[in-house]
């Protein structure tokens, strides 16, 4: 439903709170006047942009997480968890918080105070996940369900979702630096990952690969496989902490571990007591000889990395959307890292460079160049734009490979 529909179902108390937030001047006893006044105010671009501009970073992160969830409704517990995740390093919310009724009010009369445009509303003193949800309700960005079981669920108006995306895109774009000319050289790995899935299966089929007691291939086999792959990588360093991005991330380089885990997840390879072999399904897949589709690899990657980066889908969307032209890697990084939550030993910068941009390059979604004036630059590939925009992913659970 759109904002107008949700306002029509809201009770007059909630409408009064929203109208007071936007300083609407209307008959507070008329539901119709309240709705019309709210709509005329919220639909003004200057008002909406001002609200976005004044939002705290935690609130922007929270809204960003809702924009890319394909579900229509959320429970209060889900919203509280999302709001908590948006507070990087903040203290947990106190459970005894009481929701405020207005952003500002006259202390003596308890009636909404009249303010001129020159006066700014006093910011709420409350903080934390519950205060975030309360503010979003007051702005008319979150609504309770209509009736029945849905009355305890919350929704974001569909038209506001579109406006939020547009506003955030303009906000991000204002921070970016674009290159007017093509870089002197660039890397483009379109289709290579799909070809290397076939190469890995072929190597396993034609060779006896011994495994360690932990089920990993020996270094010699790993180096032989990497010689056949389209992209060369460095072996993981000794004592390097590598976890959270797949079953074999600790044993193999980033790109190779994704290929290996993809084959393992699809049941194409089997780790015996001492040897790695193809399953009957793997032999059938290897015999077909066709490269694996980028859309399938992209879907798997999103689900595999979802545990470490719950908002990966939104970060991929913005990386793709903001790189329609050649954009400097530094400006894109500084625009997006405030929305990337650190994961143990990986800080936001590492996550952006290695886990997002690096893997999008390997998937063929991005190409990365070196520009004489701007240094490292990034641009979405035609294949990447088609996959990111055209693949209608369900809100699937993260993949955990045992």
Q: What was the pLDDT predicted at 283?
A: 96
Coil, strand or helix at 217: strand
In terms of Cβ atoms closer than 10 Å to its own Cβ (0-12, 13-18, 19+), residue 121 is middle
Q: Give the total number of structural domains in the chain.
A: 2
Query: Do residues 163 and 197 both lie within one domain?
Result: no
β-pair partners for 80: none
In a domain, 241, yes or no: yes
Over its C-alpha atoms, the chain yields an Rg (Å, rounded) of 25
The CATH number of whichever domain residue 18 belongs to comes to: 1.10.10
In a domain, 325, yes or no: yes
Query: Do residues 273 and 326 both lie within one domain?
Result: yes
Query: Do residues 81 and 219 both lie within one domain?
Result: no
Query: Do residues 54 and 142 both lie within one domain?
Result: yes
Q: What was the pLDDT predicted at 389?
A: 87
CB count within 10 Å of CB 99 equals 12
Q: Which residue has the tokens 């329609």?
A: 324
In a domain, 211, yes or no: yes
Query: Do residues 268 and 161 both lie within one domain?
Result: no
The pLDDT tens digits for 36-93 are 999 999 999 898 888 888 899 999 999 999 999 888 889 999 999 999 999 986 544 4
Domain that holds residue 268: 175-401
The pLDDT tens digits for 199-242 are 999 999 999 999 999 999 999 999 999 999 999 999 998 878 89
Q: What was the pLDDT predicted at 148?
A: 61
Query: Do residues 161 and 179 both lie within one domain?
Result: no
In a domain, 108, yes or no: no
| Tokens standing for residue 129 | 């996940």
Query: Do residues 221 and 150 both lie within one domain?
Result: no
Query: Do residues 213 and 154 both lie within one domain?
Result: no
Query: Do residues 228 and 363 both lie within one domain?
Result: yes
List the one residue out of 201, 195, 191, 194 whose CA is nearest residue 263: 201
Query: Do residues 84 and 179 both lie within one domain?
Result: no
In a domain, 122, yes or no: no
Query: Do residues 290 and 155 both lie within one domain?
Result: no
Q: What was the pLDDT predicted at 110?
A: 37
The last residue of one of the domains, among 116, 149, 167, is 167
User: Residue 248 carries which DSSP code?
Assistant: T
In a domain, 321, yes or no: yes
Distance separating alpha carbons of residues 336 and 185, to the nearest angstrom:
25
Q: Are 200 and 192 in contact (CB under 8 A)?
A: no
**Furthest-apart CA pair in the chain: how many Å?**
84
In a domain, 113, yes or no: no
Query: Do residues 253 and 330 both lie within one domain?
Result: yes
21-47 residues labelled b (16+ CB within 10 A) or e (exposed)? bbbbebebeebebbbebbeebbeeeee
List the one residue out of 239, 293, 241 whose CA is nearest residue 266: 293
The last residue of one of the domains, among 167, 198, 227, is 167
Q: What was the pLDDT predicted at 136?
A: 95
Handedness of CA 280, 281, 284, 290 (dihedral sign): negative
Residues of the chain where predicted confidence (pLDDT) is lower than 70 = 89-126, 146-150, 391-396, 402
In a domain, 115, yes or no: no
| Tokens standing for residue 118 | 């020159």
């Amino acid at each position: 439903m759109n904002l107008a529909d949700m306002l029509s179902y809201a009770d007059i108390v909630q409408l009064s709170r929203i109208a007071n937030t936007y300083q609407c001047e209307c008959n507070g006893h008329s539901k119709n006047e309240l709705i019309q006044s709210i709509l005329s105010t919220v639909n003004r671009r200057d008002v909406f942009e001002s609200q976005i501009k004044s939002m705290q970073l935690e609130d922007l992160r929270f809204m960003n997480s809702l924009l890319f969830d394909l579900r229509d409704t959320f429970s209060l517990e889900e919203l509280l968890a999302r709001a908590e995740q948006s507070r990087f390093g903040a203290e947990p919310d106190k459970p005894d918080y009481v929701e405020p009724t207005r952003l500002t009010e006259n202390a003596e009369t308890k009636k909404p105070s009249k303010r001129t445009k020159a006066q700014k509303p006093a910011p709420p003193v409350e903080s934390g996940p519950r205060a975030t949800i309360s503010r979003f309700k007051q702005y008319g960005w979150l609504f309770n369900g209509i009736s029945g079981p849905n009355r305890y669920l919350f929704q974001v108006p569909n038209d506001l979702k579109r406006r939020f995306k547009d506003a955030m895109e303009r906000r991000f774009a204002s921070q970016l630096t674009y290159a007017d000319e093509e870089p002197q050289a660039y890397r483009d790995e379109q289709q290579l990952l799909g070809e290397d899935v076939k190469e890995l299966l072929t190597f396993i089929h034609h060779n006896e690969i011994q495994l360690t007691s932990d089920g990993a291939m020996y270094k010699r086999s790993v180096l032989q496989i990497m010689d056949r792959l389209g992209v060369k990588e460095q072996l993981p360093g000794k004592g390097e902490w590598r976890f959270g991005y797949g079953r074999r991330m600790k044993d193999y380089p980033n790109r190779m571990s994704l290929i290996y885990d993809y084959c393992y997840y699809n049941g194409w390879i089997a780790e015996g007591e001492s040897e790695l072999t193809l399953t009957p399904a793997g032999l059938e897949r290897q015999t077909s000889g066709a490269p694996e589709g980028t859309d399938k690899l992209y879907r798997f990657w999103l689900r595999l990395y979802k545990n470490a980066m719950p908002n990966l889908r939104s970060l991929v969307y913005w990386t793709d959307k903001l790189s329609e032209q050649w954009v400097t890697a530094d400006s894109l990084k500084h625009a997006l890292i405030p929305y990337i939550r650190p994961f143990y030993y990986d800080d936001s910068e590492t996550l952006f460079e290695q886990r997002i941009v690096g893997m999008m390059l390997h998937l063929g979604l991005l190409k990365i160049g070196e520009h004489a004036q701007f240094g490292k630059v990034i641009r979405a590939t035609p294949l990447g734009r088609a996959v990111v925009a055209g693949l209608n992913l369900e809100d699937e659970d993260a993949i955990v490979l045992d």
